[in-house]
Amino acid sequence: MASIFRSAPRALNTASRIAARQPFAARTKLAGPSPFQPVFRRGLAVPAEQPRLRLGSQAPNFQAKTTHGDIDFHQWIGDSWAILFSHPADFTPVCTTELGAFAKLKDEFDARGVKMIGLSANDIGSHDKWIEDINEVANTKVQFPIIGDADRKVAFLYDMIDQQDLDNIDQKGIAFTIRSVFVIDPSKKIRLTMMYPASTGRNSAEVLRVIDSLQTGDKKGVTTPIDWQVGDDVIVPPSVSTADAKKKFGEVREVKPYLRYTTIDK
């Protein structure tokens, strides 16, 4: 009997070594359910591991119902830039002020070739009624679509969930959606992420400022310093020599060998 128990660890170690030599997909099969299989918590399917939404990674595609009809997200973006921003819930005070502010800036986003789309964890019927309040409170007209995400599918896909809310899912098995901002370029790459707690409203001017910086950098091959605004001097990237920078931009102001400013046309 003792020899049987002594052989068990050896058998387990052998199995572990075999598993370690298998491809990742095979190892996950040996180990049990894939880590990407959803875990059901009070009836809500919660991904066990979120996708890695790094800067430069492709924005996950999805299909959804919006206040402007059904969309395929990538098709909706088309050849434009896009901003996707989420809200915890309809008929809440901070969200109402935010949607009103973004609605008023539609012309600014249009001028930059940026499509806006919101998301709130309620259904379309609720959105339609909430938009009436937003228009009244902000004295504006919401013209961009708002995604209905009552089941939190898009919220989980984009990891728009606060860990505290995930740990304390309410009696309906639903976690709130935090305030997230994703700026996505025409190639569907994520270029900016911002995450805010539910208690803090966003700075819409900062969103526009970052878009200006990203688009200027793409067009001119420069970087931008702290608090940069359109028209301010920009920074020559370290990868560009001073001689090449002078050929490209003209005057270059060297503060340090690694910190050089220049002026560009708007």
Please give the distance of CA 63 from its chain centroid, rounded to a whole number. Answer: 16
pLDDT value at position 190? 97
* Catalytic machinery residues: 95
The tokens describing 55, both together, are 């800067």
Length of the chain: 266
Residue type, 127: H
Which among 60, 64, 70 is positioned nearest to 36, based on CA atoms? 60
Q: Which domains does the chain have, with CATH numbers?
A: 2-31 (no CATH), 38-202 (3.40.30.10), 221-262 (3.30.1020.10)
pLDDT value at position 27? 34
State which residues of the chain have pLDDT below 50.
Answer: 1-46, 48
Q: The pTM is what?
A: 0.76
DSSP 141: -
DSSP 265: -
Whole-number Cα distances in Å, 112 to 39, 94, 145, 180? 41, 26, 18, 20
Strands (E), 131-201: 146-148, 179-184, 190-196
pLDDT value at position 25? 36
Side-by-side strand order, sheet with 114-120: 69-72, 63-66, 146-148, 114-120, 81-87, 179-184, 190-196
pLDDT value at position 146? 93
pLDDT value at position 51? 64
**Do 229 and 209 form a contact (C-beta atoms < 8 A)?**
yes
The tokens describing 101, both together, are 């502010």
pLDDT value at position 20? 40
**Do 160 and 118 form a contact (C-beta atoms < 8 A)?**
no
